[in-house]
Structure 1
Amino acid sequence: MIRLDENEISFPDPEIYDGHEGIIAFGGDLSIERIWFAYQLGIFPWYNPGEEILWWCPDPRFVLFPDELKVSKSMRKILNRNVFTFSENQNFREVIKNCQEVSRKGQTGTWLSDELMESFIQLHEYGLARSIEVWQNEVLVGGFYGLQIGNVFCGESMFAKVSNASKAGFIHFIETNKNLELIDCQSHTEHLESMGAKMIPKKEFLKILHHNNERR
């Protein structure tokens, strides 16, 4: 693995460097300039708070093509009944805070450090990060956030305080953003696989991302 220089914003080229089990580099910092540059290269930070920052570009990559979205009959009924209402970028800070704090089955603690959370809040303030909020009876019950790079949405984390909230928000987001070309889900989850996400080779993912960057 390659150690990053805190005084220089650069990364190994993920097209030619595989790293170790998907880890491209370590170290550096969490400045918004470095994070934004990393995502444009297909690289993202993922590490345990208090430990060295790790930068990843796994092969294969877990993604969802919007036209391959799967919506179950039960979820379609929930959406048609208007059980939830949705908004975008109305409460980014609360969404990311809930993503950090909500407990998940089989998971202790959180990978989302306070420093990384503040960096994403700054990215949101610059118009680079988006949040989707899911409401029930005017209470925030679910949502997710990520970075928008042209027509590619790089999903970071989601939360749900009631059943189906995050899933409903995800479906609503895809179905109402017709220009989306790809959702980068980063790492495999059964939850997203059931909705149509799948593994593709890293080279295929990077090709889509780079072509998207050229069109912006």
Structure 2
Amino acid sequence: MALRPPLLPADPDAPFPPGASALRQPDGLLAIGGDLTPPRLLNAYRHGIFPWYSDGQPILWWCPDPRTVFRTGRVRLSSRFRRELRRSCWSVRADTAFEQVIDACARIPRDGQHGTWITAQMRAAYVELHHRGHAHSVEVFDGQQLVGGIYGVAVGRMFFGESMFSTQSGGSKVALAALARCLHGWDWPLLDAQVENAHLLSLGAELWPRDDFLAQVAVQTQMPEPPNAWTSRFGTWPARLLADPST
């Protein structure tokens, strides 16, 4: 008989089941139902849990084992890509085109994926988190054209990446590396990437046992986040700065 994860109660402040109780098959499925209100979402992220489902499904909540994680000081760009960046005229900034980034992430074709998990309900939920200062985007521009980006959720000094995209080769790599560069400078040690794939691993992602990941999340999400909006803290700077491996 197949095991079923528990249904979440209607109260958005109700606790989630412990991450360690998630199913092995499918890996990491923890709970079903509930809603995507800001209190529920922030409660989930504080405990290393994220929603992921498709149209026609109930809301599914996940906490996989192992967890794919970047150390913010160890994102890896190839020497060839760094050489290309030295000639780049792209610029990078944050939180100036959040809705464009999430829409681009929803539209971009992905291998083995039909449609998108960024449903209208998910989009509305993360736009609301953005308006409340919890969801952020890093954007890569070629002049006035958006060519890459990443968005996710910040709680305390922990960043949970949700999705990224490119419309020109390397756009998502620049967005990820730029985000990691700034997080590292702000003393945020980790960037959650949720589920492994070959592309993330090639950029330096690590596979962490779930217990180790959740222990770090418990610490980082309780730390105070420095004040000021991300747009001003991040600034606008040329992507070619990423060509120097020491930065």
Identity %: 36
- What is residue 238 of structure 2 aligned with on the other side? none
**What are the Cα deviations for residues 26-60 of structure 1, in whole angstroms up to 9, with x where unaligned?**
01111121111100110000111121111000011
Q: 1:100-119 alignment to 2 at 5 Å?
A: 100-119=106-125
Aligned equivalents of 1:95, 1:123: Cα separation in 2: 14
Please give the per-residue CA displacement for 1:131-180, whole angstroms capped at 9, x wherever unaligned.
01111131011101000122221000011111111101111221233122
Task: Give the deviation of 1:18 after TM superposition.
Answer: 2.9
Measure the CA separation in 1 of the matches of 2:172 and 2:47. Answer: 27
**3, 6, 11: which is aligned to 2:10?**
6
CA distance in 2, matches of 1:78, 1:87: 20
**CA distance in structure 2 between the partners assigned to 1:120 and 1:8 by the alignment:** 16
CA shift for structure 1 position 205: 0.3
Q: Distance in 2 between matches of 1:197 and 1:110?
A: 23
Aligned pairs for 1:160-175 within 5 A? 160-175=166-181
Letter in 2 for 1:198: E
Identify which of 181, 188, 197 aligns with 2:189.
Answer: 181
Contact 1:2–1:26 under 8 Å retained in 2: yes
2-structure distance, mates of 1:186, 1:23 = 13
> Match of 1:180, SS?
coil
TM-score under structure 1 normalisation? 0.94
Q: Give, as a single letter, the amino acid of the residue that structure 2 aligns with 1:13.
A: P
SS in 1 for 2:73: helix
What amino acid maps onto 1:19 in structure 2? L
Residue correspondence of structure 1 range 42-53 to structure 2 within 5 A = 42-53=48-59
Structure 2 residue identity aligned to 1:7 = D
- Kindly indicate whether the alpha-carbon contact (under 8 Å) linking 1:102 and 1:159 is maintained by their aligned counterparts in 2: yes
TM-score by length of 2: 0.83
Quick one: distance in 2 between partners of 1:83 and 1:157?
Answer: 24
Q: 2:146 is aligned with what amino acid?
A: L
Could you tell me which runs of 5 or more consecutive residues in structure 1 were left unpaired when the two chains were aligned.
none
Aligned-residue RMSD, C-alpha: 1.4
What's the CA shift for 1:81? 1.9
- Alignment partners' CA distance in 1, 2:68 and 2:204: 10
Residue 133, structure 1, aligned to residue 126, structure 2:
no
Shift of 1:214: 3.0
The alpha-carbon deviation at position 185 of structure 1 amounts to 0.2
Determine if contact 1:84/1:165 at 8 Å carries over to the other structure: no
**Could you tell me which amino acid in structure 2 is paired with residue 40 of structure 1?**
R
Q: CA deviation at 1:8?
A: 4.4
CA distance in structure 2 between the partners assigned to 1:60 and 1:113 by the alignment: 26
- Other structure's SS at 2:19 match: coil
SS at match of 2:222: helix
Aligned residues: 215
Distance 1:163 1:214 in 2: 37
What corresponds to 2:239 in structure 1?
none
Q: Are residues 1:197 and 2:202 paired? A: no
SS at 2:31 equivalent: strand
Q: More displaced, 72-81 or 38-47?
A: 72-81
More displaced 10-residue stretch of structure 1: 172-181 or 114-123: 172-181
Superposition misfits of 4+ residues, deviation over 3 angstroms? none
The unaligned stretches of length 5 or more in structure 2 are: 225-247
Distance across 1 between alignment mates of 2:222 and 2:114: 40
2:181, 2:220 → 1: CA distance?
A: 20
